[in-house]
Chain A
Amino acid sequence: MEIIVPIRQVPDVALNIRVNEGKVVEDGVSFVISSWDETAIEGALQMTEELGGEVTLLGIGPERVSEALRKGLAMGAHKAIHVLYEEGQTDSFGYAKIMAKVMEGRNYDLILTGKQAQDTDAGLTASMLAEFLDLPQVTNIIRFSDLAVDGMTLYRKGDHGTEVIGIKLPAVVTVNDSLNEPRLASMRGIMMAKKKPMETLSPSDLGMGAEELGLQGSMTEVLKFEKPESRKEGERFEGDETETVPMAIQKLVSEAKLAV
């Protein structure tokens, strides 16, 4: 089974993210693989371990993205494609178009990726890619079974329960992080990653011109980033619960208009 895993390198959201004049400050930020994409890499590795075949990572972005790709290779992915791209402003639509170009003429059974990227939290790119490639999509899966080279059963976390979906490949599938616990890279994996093939492409290698890239190739743009109005800590109640709880509830009813 040939699987392509598009991954996105994002600022580590566990750390402090700074904004200056409406832009995210990149200096001093540590970049990581978006956590849902790590889940996708792990899922792809498990599938190829069962059925054979290779996992190919796809990263789009500046030079630093090659680090994310090498980390994915260290986990065990077989090869990587790096579209070297100084992003400027590109939205999900623009990225999906670039990915669709990368897929042209390639042999794959499955495109597996995270349900959303940890920086934009948008969750749009994979489904758009599926539409552009005219492939079926299943998003937000928490399990897979009946693995075969031409299809599998997927369990999607939907609004009203777990949807059980049989799918014929090729397809685009996105993962929820409860699918698995991504493996850590081993020392050998880290060393071998350096020797694994990494194909570096430019947008022009893909036959894409300026009108298809950046803001021109996008449908939306970000005007500015802001720190949300942070919630301020309110009132504290300390002491015996038989006193603090009635006090708090009284305030909830009188000040915040709690009604039950």
Chain B
Amino acid sequence: MPKVLVVAETKNGELKKPTLELLSLAKSMNLQAESVLIGKEVSSQADLLAGYGSGKVYVADDAGLEIYNTSKYTTLVADAVGQSGATQVWLTSSETGRDLTPRVAARMGVGALSDVTELEIDGDNITATRPCMATKLVQQCRFTKDGLRVISIRAGAYEAEEASPQTADTVSLSIPEGDARVEVRDIQVEESNEIELNEASIVVSVGRGTGGTEGCDFVKPLAGEMGAAFGASRAVCDAGWMPHKHQVGQTGTVVSPDFYFAFGISGAIQHLAGMSGSKVIVAINKDAEAPIFKVADYGIVGDLFKAVPVFQEEVAKIKN
């Protein structure tokens, strides 16, 4: 009987949506699931994990776990795998997940499949579909040996259901020392109330067509009004018009929201690779030949500086 251990991720002490997606997926497949919850002041989230269907929740709550640390997290996940007897470990393909997935797999002496967008499970046989070659192709993969299956799943690939917290059955993990050769000193965070790119159901993104920082700032309020995360193309971030944390694409954040609005983005391959998993793509561009229109469900050929105010009016109308 397969048993899944979900590696939960939190931000500011709260569970992130992709984690809930994983638990919802396990539930929809009738798989037994447990979870491991690591961080600082995160214990309170165990009940929500339980509400989402997690059996035991393995908790490591410690001030020293506030910032991600490969060595400590790997030890903790391995510990939880051992205690739970899980046959599968599921992670999200966040930066944390990308770092942790291969290390956990190698620690357990097995392989891994990363950034999976489609998972089929039949007992212990797993077939995973994942994009490759800058999303020009997808590959279908499977595990060839017995043993633990370590898989990271792309955020947004599956839906998270609604669920309410339940009293969790928690197990405390002992806090490891960590690797003395590595000292995680600090995290430089820009304080903001903005919605994170890989969590948002709507993303509003800007490209070179904005012409500069002012143009980007012109579009940004619309993101707030729509409850959307604010993204940008690589050209915009490299030019310093917007900070790199906004970058959508293979080098920045790979997103697959329900709605992706591209303002003045022409659609370079690396950008398309980072957003073509979006369910609905809306493109606004002056250049009718821009490649972004080839993937857009709704393409508006026009000037973004004229279009944005109309968007704002219309959004206000919908809200009322």
A and B touch in the complex (CB under 8 A): yes
- Which positions 142-193 of chain A face chain B at CB distance < 8 Å? 142, 153, 155-168, 171, 176-178
In the bound complex, do residue A233 and residue B296 qualify as a contact, i.e. CB atoms below 8 Å apart?
yes
Cβ-defined partner of B298 (8 Å) among A123, A127, A157, A234: A234
Of the listed stretches B99-107, B158-166, B207-215, name the one at the interface; the rest are far from the partner chain.
Answer: B99-107
Residue of B nearest to A154 (CB): B182
Q: Which of B131, B132, B134, B187 has the most C-beta atoms of chain A within 10 angstroms of its own C-beta?
A: B132
Is there contact, CB below 8 Å, between A241 and B307?
yes
Return the chain A residue nearest B137 by Cβ.
A225
Q: A252 touches which one: B186, B187, B225, B282 (CB < 8 A)?
A: B282
Q: Kindly state whether residue B310 has any CB partner on chain A within 8 Å.
A: yes
A219 touches B144 (CB 8 A): yes
- Confirm or deny: B71 has a beta carbon within 8 angstroms of a beta carbon on chain A: yes
Does B135 make an interface contact (CB < 8 A)?
A: yes
**When A124-B105, A215-B144 are in contact, do A119 and B133 touch as well, CB less than 8 Å?**
yes
| Most chain B C-beta atoms within 10 Å of own C-beta, residue among A220, A222, A258, A259 | A220
Question: With A118-B133, A223-B141 in contact, do A91 and B111 touch (Cβ < 8 Å)?
Answer: yes
Tell me whether B235 is interfacial, beta carbon within 8 Å: no
A244 at interface by CB-CB < 8 Å: yes
Give chain B nearest CB distance to A43 CB in angstroms.
Answer: 15
Verify A127–B106 contact, CB threshold 8 A: yes
Tell me whether A248 and B294 are in contact (CB under 8 A).
no
Q: Is the CB of B251 within 8 A of A177?
A: yes
Q: Which residues of A contact B122 (CB under 8 A)?
A: none
* Interface of chain B residues 100 through 120 with chain A (CB within 8 A): 101-103, 105-107, 110-115
A168 and B183 alpha carbons, distance in the complex (Å):
9
With A119-B133, A131-B103, A166-B183: A260-B227 Cβ-Cβ less than 8 Å: yes
Assuming A92-B112, A137-B103, is B144 touching A220 (CB within 8 A)? yes
* Contact A256 to B137, CB < 8 A, known contacts A92-B102, A93-B105, A128-B103: no
Q: Is B177 an interface position by the 8 A CB rule?
A: no
Closest B residue by C-beta to A243: B310
> Per a CB cutoff under 8 Å, which of A155, A227, A234, A258 touches B296?
A234
Distance of A226 Cα from B132 Cα, bound (Å) = 10
Q: B137–A17 contact, CB under 8 A? A: yes
Return 13 A-B CB contacts under 8 Å, by A number.
A127-B102, A136-B70, A139-B95, A159-B11, A159-B196, A176-B251, A177-B251, A226-B138, A236-B299, A236-B301, A258-B202, A260-B225, A260-B318
- Could you tell me which B residues sit within 8 Å of A by CB distance? 9, 11, 67-68, 70-71, 94-96, 98-99, 101-103, 105-107, 110-115, 127, 130-145, 147, 179-190, 196, 202, 225-227, 238, 244-245, 250-251, 259, 269, 276, 279-282, 288, 293-303, 306-307, 310-311, 314-315, 318-319
Known A-B contacts: A171-B182, A219-B147, A221-B142. Give 5 more (CB < 8 A). A121-B115, A124-B114, A233-B293, A241-B306, A260-B315
Chain A residues near B (Cβ < 8 Å): 11, 13-14, 17, 19, 24, 91-93, 96, 115, 118-128, 130-132, 136-140, 142, 153, 155-168, 171, 176-178, 215, 218-228, 231, 233-242, 244-246, 248-249, 251-253, 256, 258-260
